[in-house]
């Protein structure tokens, strides 16, 4: 290989022979000098762009390296936040989400300023079924100075996905979860889309709360759920009005529905939240004194 390097340096005729690059790159690879092997193959491809053999060899080297380059890098630089972040992405692409989460957290610990590091953490938490943890991570991302627009877009995307899932389950808890993500996205970057989705989610929270409250056997809990429904109605109304340009016809129907359920919220609060006056029994005349 040393003779090949000298020949490449002093003999311009070597640059005219593609077989020379093939042999030298293969020799480097056989001697575990992977960087030089890839470099030589790449130089050969640049010199002989129409040589299919060289390109096939270069492709082989690159493919082999893609499977091992991060692992080798982690062994060489175990405290590199950048490599840990790359490793997290690689692990996630291979379905190893729990390991990807650990790698992402470690990357952020080593470098709190790493670009979108906490978004990687939040993504893994979402995929592991920990949306509440993901939302906390997103709050930390903003506090740490990460790009607010990127965090807002992430929260909006996940909130929209959660809202669609809630439309399938029709449960109050799922609508509330979607609403929390959408409200956070709207707080970072308010747009007609965030307003409309937030309003639609809030409407469903109000509807399910007012439906659930009468079925709860404990009066105090019925009161809490009724109050949730009543308190969410104005949020739904204001958000839908602000985002009505997204879907004017749907907004009109939603606002009319809010008008219909508002009286029920007042009646439920009166029924479940008004203190019950104890019934006093009157004493008979014979028992007085």
Angle at 130 between CA 124 and CA 136, to 5 degrees: 85
DSSP calls for 127-178: HTT-HHHHHHHHHHHHHTT--HHHHHHHHHHHHHHHHHHHHHH--HHHHHHH
> What is the C-alpha separation between 124 and 97, in angstroms, rounded?
6
Tokens of 123: 């993504």
> What is the C-alpha separation between 102 and 107, in angstroms, rounded?
9
Single out the residue of 141, 91, 84 nearest to residue 110, CA to CA: 84
> What is the C-alpha separation between 21 and 44, in angstroms, rounded?
6
Residue 4 is predicted with a pLDDT of 46
Residues 241, 196 contacting (CB under 8 angstroms): no
Residue 95 backbone zone (phi > 0: left; psi -120 to 50: alpha; other: beta): left
Q: Which residue has the tokens 């270069």?
A: 58
Residue 5 is predicted with a pLDDT of 55
Alpha-carbon 286 to chain mean position: 75
> What is the C-alpha separation between 89 and 96, in angstroms, rounded?
10
DSSP assigned state of 1: -
**Digits of tens for pLDDT over the chain (289 positions)?**
554 455 454 444 445 677 888 888 788 888 877 778 888 888 888 888 888 888 888 888 777 766 677 777 877 888 888 888 888 888 888 889 999 899 889 888 888 888 888 999 999 999 999 999 999 999 999 999 999 999 999 999 999 999 999 999 999 999 999 999 999 999 999 999 999 999 999 999 999 999 999 999 999 999 999 999 999 999 999 999 999 999 999 999 999 999 999 999 999 999 999 875 554 555 555 555 4
H helices then E strands: how many in the chain? Answer: 13, 0
Handedness of CA 210, 235, 273, 267 (dihedral sign): negative
Residue 289 is predicted with a pLDDT of 44
pTM score of the predicted model: 0.74
Domains, the chain: 1-76 (no CATH), 77-146 (1.25.40.10), 147-273 (no CATH)
> What is the C-alpha separation between 63 and 67, in angstroms, rounded?
7
132 to 26, 59, 103, 122: CA distances (angstroms): 52, 43, 20, 10
What's the pLDDT tens digit per position in 94-126?
Answer: 889 999 899 889 888 888 888 888 999 999 999
Tokens of 158: 């996940």
Residue 33 is predicted with a pLDDT of 79
């Amino acid at each position: 290989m040393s003779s090949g390097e000298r020949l490449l340096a002093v003999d311009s005729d070597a640059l005219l022979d593609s077989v020379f690059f093939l042999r030298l790159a293969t020799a480097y690879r056989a001697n575990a000098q992977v960087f030089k092997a890839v470099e030589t193959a790449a130089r050969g491809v640049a010199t002989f762009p129409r040589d299919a053999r060289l390109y096939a060899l270069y492709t082989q080297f690159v493919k082999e390296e893609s499977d091992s380059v991060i692992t080798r890098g982690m062994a060489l630089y175990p405290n590199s936040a950048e490599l840990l972040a790359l490793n997290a992405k690689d692990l996630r692409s291979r379905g190893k989400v729990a390991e990807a989460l650990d790698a992402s957290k470690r990357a952020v610990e080593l470098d709190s300023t790493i670009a979108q590091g906490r978004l990687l953490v939040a993504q893994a938490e979402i995929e592991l079924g920990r949306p509440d943890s993901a939302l906390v991570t997103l709050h930390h991302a903003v506090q740490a100075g990460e790009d607010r627009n990127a965090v807002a877009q992430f929260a909006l995307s996940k909130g929209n996905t959660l809202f669609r899932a809630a439309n399938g389950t029709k449960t109050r808890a799922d609508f509330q979860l979607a609403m929390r993500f959408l409200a956070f996205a709207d707080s970072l970057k308010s747009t007609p889309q965030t307003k409309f989705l937030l309003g639609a989610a809030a409407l469903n929270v109000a509807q399910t709360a007012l439906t659930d409250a009468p079925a709860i056997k404990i009066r105090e809990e019925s009161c809490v759920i009724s109050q949730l429904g009543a308190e969410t109605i104005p949020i739904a109304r204001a958000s839908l009005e602000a985002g009505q340009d997204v879907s004017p016809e749907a907004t009109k129907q939603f606002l009319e529905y809010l008008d219909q359920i508002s009286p029920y919220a007042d009646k439920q609060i009166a029924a479940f939240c008004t203190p019950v006056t104890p019934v006093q029994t009157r004493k008979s005349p014979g028992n007085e004194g």
